[in-house]
Amino acid sequence: MQTTIRFALVACLASLPASSCSFIFPPDSHLEPTTAGPDYAIQGEYASTEPPFGAQVIARGDGAFEAVLYRGGLPGDGWDGSPRIATAGERKTDGRLRLTGAGSLTLVGTALVGAGPDGETLRLARVERESPTTGAPPPPGAHVVFDGSGTTAVDGAMDDRGFLQAGATSRESFGDGQIHLEFRTPFTPEGSGQGRGNSGVYLQNRYEVQVLDSFGLTEKDNDCGGIYKVSAPAVNMSFPPLRWQTYDIDFAAARFDAEGNKTTSARVTVRHNGVIIQDDVEIPGPTGNGASEDPSAGPLYLQDHWNPVVYRNVWVLPHGHPRVPPSTSR
């Protein structure tokens, strides 16, 4: 069955437009926590305050796991920036996760308990973080691209849960502005790299801020939060898959003179789950498959990369309106 589905995907990609293949995906992609299996219940974030430590546990399929330990706490929440400590483990027949290598930790209930990398005693409780901008309402003057009520402002499709599928383009074009959106990647434990929840937010259909399940990975320019092939995020703020995440983006479009020559490159600041990961970064030109640059405005495009990534609460506040503090929540 798995071979058949993947063959169908290859055939589809070879013969049809991308929009026709949007949601054909490998059978190991899970869309809801309730049906994601026992490994999903283990994957996630764990933390302690005494001593301060964080851990991100990543499912790799069929009971195999990797884990990353952080001194000081989780990324964006205490991590002191010291080298990550990698370890690995597996789900045993009793259902417990056991990590060995850098110390020895066992999942007991909802806590990782045991010895840390230097032999210290650790008890890391499971935590489920939420972005401080989750559910941020569109402020006065904002253009609502998608709010779950329909697709009148976007060329795209909703799924049966009321979420916006990847592959959507705003019907309106934008210049400078503040963009808010929320996204969710699938749980694809046997996937890797760009095949694990891949999408992207194209500003003016020109410049991509990558969307990917990069939970627990080292920062790269083609991972979640990266300006594709231009700038890696300062810190990987990815939450586990199937958790809603936020981008709050300040965008300044490229400038052109009267003859149409570019005088200033586009610039962008990106907050991922409330933390600045790209700080006023210059984008020298279109990224990936971005449209060519010119003085015109452009739409917001949510890339379809044949992965079941979904979006919600998408709005754009053009510059010139009172700005919204990015920490503002519901």
Supply 267's token pair. 């610039």
Say if residue 196 is in the same domain as residue 222: yes
Domain finish residue from 64, 99, 127: 127
Domain encompassing residue 113: 35-127
Say if residue 154 is in the same domain as residue 123: no
Say if residue 154 is in the same domain as residue 47: no
Tell me, what CATH number does 208's domain have?
2.60.120.560
Tens-digit pLDDT profile for the chain (330 aa)?
333 233 334 334 444 444 444 444 555 789 999 999 999 999 999 999 999 999 999 999 999 999 999 999 999 999 999 999 999 999 998 889 999 998 899 999 999 999 999 999 999 999 999 999 999 999 999 999 999 999 999 999 999 999 999 999 999 999 999 999 999 999 999 888 777 899 999 999 999 999 999 999 999 999 999 999 999 999 999 999 999 999 999 999 999 999 999 999 999 999 999 999 999 999 999 999 999 999 999 999 999 988 999 999 999 999 976 667 765 433
Task: Tell me how far apart the alpha carbons of residues 257 and 237 are, in angstroms, rounded to a whole number.
Answer: 38
Kind and range of the H or E element at 302?
A: strand 298-302
Is 92 contained in some domain?
yes
Say if residue 217 is in the same domain as residue 74: no
3-class SS letters over 25-88: CCCCCECCHHHCCHHHHHCEEEEEECCEEEEEEEEEECCEEEEEEEECCECCEECCCCCCEEEE
pTM beyond 0.85, yes or no = yes
User: With left for phi above 0 and alpha for psi between -120 and 50, is residue 274 left, alpha or beta?
Assistant: left
Say if residue 207 is in the same domain as residue 70: no
Domain finish residue from 69, 97, 127: 127
From the centroid of its chain, how far is CA 37? 21
Say if residue 194 is in the same domain as residue 306: yes
Is 19 contained in some domain?
no
Say if residue 175 is in the same domain as residue 283: yes
Is 136 contained in some domain?
no
